């Protein structure tokens, strides 16, 4: 199933996006018990949502009528992983990491699918990073890699906007948290629909030009290993996001560098997960 949060006719809601592009609105059907997508996950009620969606003969809206929101209206923790592909570590001038490099992104740094990025005024070095994001569906501490996939609700696309001079000359957190510089979405796609991650590819396209392309079997630290590592440090909660890192091909490593400019369109395309599209303003 593909779950999305959105505005429709000016009102916040959430629902299931069908293959034909129609949307079954869940707030109007089960919203009395589960008023948001995050609460639906927290109540372990995906089966209820599935029944409601399958009972609908036709969708309530067309996907084109939606104004997407980031997956959850409520704040969640966004864990990000750096240098998780060998070729990207090499282009950045780093050795292969012995353990995951982590940082946190604040919700204010994110926009939704089809919303506009805000190009930073303090720096010309606004860069792109296409990534797969994992959504936690069952919380916990000290989760073993062997049991980690039982804690995953699904996946979505992620664009980790990075302001390189702030990242490299000051701190990673500053460079990764400029206002409305990153994006997430369009939808949370459940694990059963995605299947084997290792067989899938990620592609990042900037204004029609392919910049990044990889398979997920190139990850240094797999999704189960990342969950094991992070849950040893802190409690993972339902709705938390783990952005798994970007492959080679980012803008700062190119000759000459290719930083994002006003009007650029950034697309992060992941097989079976979706296509996240934003324009730089």
Q: What is the mean pLDDT of each run of 10 residues along the chain (281 residues)?
A: 96 96 97 98 97 94 96 95 91 89 97 98 98 98 98 98 96 96 98 94 98 96 98 98 97 97 98 98 97
Mark 18-50 as b/e (b = at least 16 C-beta within 10 Å): beeebbbbbbebbeeebbbbbbbbbeebbebbe
How much is the pLDDT for 226? 98
**Residue 194: how many other CB atoms lie within 10 Å:** 18
How much is the pLDDT for 73? 87
Contacts within 8 Å (CB) and 24+ apart, 89-94:
89/220, 90/248, 91/248, 91/249, 91/250, 91/253, 92/253
For residue 102, the SS3 value is: strand
The phi and psi torsions of 74 (rounded to 5 degrees) equal -80, 150
How much is the pLDDT for 89? 85
How much is the pLDDT for 90? 87
N- to C-terminal Cα distance for the chain? 32
Helices vs. strands in the chain: H and E counts, helices first: 8, 19
């Amino acid at each position: 199933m593909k779950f999305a949060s959105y505005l429709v006719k000016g009102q916040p809601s959430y629902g299931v996006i069908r293959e034909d592009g129609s949307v079954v609105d869940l707030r109007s059907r089960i919203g009395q018990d589960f008023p948001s997508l995050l609460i639906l996950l927290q109540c372990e009620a995906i089966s209820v949502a599935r029944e409601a969606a399958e009972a609908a003969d036709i969708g309530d809206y067309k996907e084109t009528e939606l104004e997407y929101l980031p997956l959850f209206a409520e704040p969640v923790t966004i864990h990000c992983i750096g240098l998780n592909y060998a070729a990207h570590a090499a282009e950045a001038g780093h050795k292969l990491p012995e353990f995951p490099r982590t940082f946190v992104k604040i919700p204010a740094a994110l926009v939704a699918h089809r919303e506009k990025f805000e190009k930073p005024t303090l720096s010309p070095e606004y860069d792109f990073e296409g990534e797969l994001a994992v959504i936690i569906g069952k919380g916990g501490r000290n989760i073993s890699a062997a049991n980690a996939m039982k804690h995953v609700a699904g996946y979505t696309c992620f664009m980790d906007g990075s302001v390189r001079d702030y990242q490299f000359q000051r701190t990673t957190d500053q460079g990764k948290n400029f206002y409305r510089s990153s994006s997430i979405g369009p939808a949370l796609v459940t694990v059963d629909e995605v299947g084997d991650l290792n067989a899938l590819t990620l592609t990042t396209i900037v204004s029609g030009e392919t910049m990044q392309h990889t398979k997920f079997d190139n990850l240094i630290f797999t999704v189960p290993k990342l969950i094991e590592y992070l849950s040893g440090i802190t409690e993972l909660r339902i709705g938390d996001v783990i952005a798994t890192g970007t492959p080679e091909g980012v803008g700062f490593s190119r000759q000459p560098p290719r930083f994002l400019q006003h009007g650029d369109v950034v697309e992060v395309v992941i097989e079976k997960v979706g296509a996240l599209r934003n324009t730089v303003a």
